[in-house]
C-alpha cells in the first residue's frame, strides 16, 4: 500500500486476548523473547503515558455537536472525535486520514464544521452527505484509527479491531499500521484476524486459574510454521484450539 508520506516499517503484534489497564497505572513493563524486535525492553512511564487505547467508537456521542474547547487527546471511545478532527483540519492534517478511508472504502471525504463554538463532522460518500448516525460503524471506526495515528502516540493499542469490519478492510488497515514508526498492539478474539498475522507477531495473553496474567510467545516459529503447513492447520486453529501437534 502506498502512503502519501514515507515511513519506516515497524512491528504490528496481535494480542489474542486482552487485559485492559489504564496507561496511568503503568510504571513500565518488560517483554522477553529472542526475536530482535522483542529484546528485553523497559518502557518507562514517560513513554507509556503517551499511549493511546482505542475501543469501538461511541457513535451516539458523535451524533451531537461538541464544544470546540477541551482535551486535545482522543479518548478511548473516540467520543471527542469531532473536536479532534476539527483541530486537525484547521492544521491541514487530515490528508492521511482521508487516504486510509479511501483505501479501505473508496470515495470517502470527511467534512469538519463549526457553529457558535460547537463542532461536528459529516461524511461524504461520493455525492451523498451523511451524519455520523447514518454512517456505517466501520467507516467511523477506521476514521478513529486514522485520527489516532495522526496524533502520533508513543504506542497505539486497538481493542477488537474486527468489530464492524470485514477481513479485506482489516488487511488494508494492517498494511497501513505496518508502515508506521510507532508500536501498535491489536487485541482480538477473531480467528480471521489471527490468520492475517504471521506467528512471530502473535502474543497470547490469558488469565491464569489463580488470577494471574499469562503472556506467551510462540517458540521456534520456523518449526511450528512448517508443521502447520504439513497438517493444513491455520494459525487461529493452533492458537485457539490447542497448541499440541502430534
pLDDT in tens, 9-62: 444 565 554 444 443 433 333 344 444 334 344 555 556 668 899 999 999 999
Domain boundaries along the sequence of the chain: 7-51+153-246, 61-136
Q: What is the pLDDT of residue 208?
A: 82
Distance, CA of 54 to CA of 75 (rounded, Å): 7
Q: What is the pLDDT of residue 217?
A: 86
Instruction: Give, rounded to a whole angstrom, the gap between the first and last alpha carbons of the chain.
Output: 39
Residues forming beta bridges with residue 183, ordered by sequence position: 155
What are the tens digits of pLDDT across the range 169-211?
999 999 999 889 888 999 998 999 999 988 989 988 888 888 8
DSSP string, 40-54: SEE--HHHHTT-EEE
What are the tens digits of pLDDT across the range 66-122?
999 998 899 999 999 999 999 999 999 999 999 999 999 999 999 999 999 999 999
Runs of H (alpha helix) within the chain: 45-48, 59-62, 81-90, 95-105, 137-150, 167-177, 191-194, 221-231, 235-240
Distance, CA of 135 to CA of 8 (rounded, Å): 33
H or E, element range at 123: strand 118-125
Q: How many CB atoms lie within 10 A of CB 192?
A: 15
Q: How many CB atoms lie within 10 A of CB 18?
A: 17
What is the grid cell recorded at 112?
A: 469538519
What is the grid cell recorded at 246?
A: 502430534
DSSP code of residue 21: -
Contact 16, 188 (CB under 8 A): yes
* Residue 6 pLDDT exceeds 50: no
Among all chains, which residue has been given the C-alpha cell 497448541? 243
Amino acid at each position: 500500500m502506498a502512503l502519501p508520506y514515507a515511513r519506516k516499517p515497524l512491528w504490528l503484534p496481535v494480542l489474542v486476548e486482552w487485559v485492559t489497564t489504564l496507561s496511568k497505572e503503568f510504571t513500565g513493563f518488560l517483554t522477553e523473547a529472542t526475536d530482535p524486535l522483542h529484546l528485553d525492553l523497559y518502557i518507562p512511564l514517560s513513554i507509556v503515558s503517551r499511549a493511546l487505547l482505542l475501543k469501538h467508537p461511541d457513535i451516539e456521542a458523535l451524533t451531537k455537536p461538541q464544544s470546540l474547547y477541551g482535551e486535545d487527546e482522543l479518548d478511548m471511545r473516540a467520543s471527542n472525535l469531532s473536536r479532534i478532527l476539527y483541530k486537525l483540519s484547521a492544521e491541514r492534517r487530515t490528508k492521511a486520514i482521508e487516504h486510509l478511508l479511501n483505501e479501505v472504502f473508496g470515495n470517502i471525504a470527511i467534512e469538519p464544521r463549526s457553529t457558535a463554538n460547537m463542532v461536528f463532522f459529516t461524511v461524504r460518500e461520493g455525492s451523498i452527505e451523511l451524519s455520523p448516525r447514518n454512517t456505517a460503524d466501520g467507516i467511523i471506526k477506521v476514521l478513529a484509527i486514522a485520527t489516532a495515528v495522526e496524533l502520533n502516540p508513543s504506542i497505539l493499542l486497538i481493542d477488537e479491531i474486527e468489530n464492524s469490519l470485514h477481513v479485506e478492510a482489516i488487511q488494508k488497515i494492517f498494511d497501513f499500521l505496518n508502515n508506521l514508526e510507532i508500536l501498535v498492539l491489536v487485541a482480538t478474539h477473531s480467528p480471521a484476524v489471527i490468520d492475517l498475522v504471521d506467528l512471530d507477531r502473535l502474543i497470547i495473553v490469558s488469565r491464569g486459574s489463580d488470577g494471574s496474567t499469562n503472556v506467551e510467545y510462540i517458540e521456534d516459529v520456523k518449526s511450528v510454521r512448517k508443521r502447520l503447513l504439513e497438517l493444513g492447520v491455520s494459525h487461529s486453529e493452533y492458537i485457539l484450539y490447542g497448541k499440541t501437534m502430534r
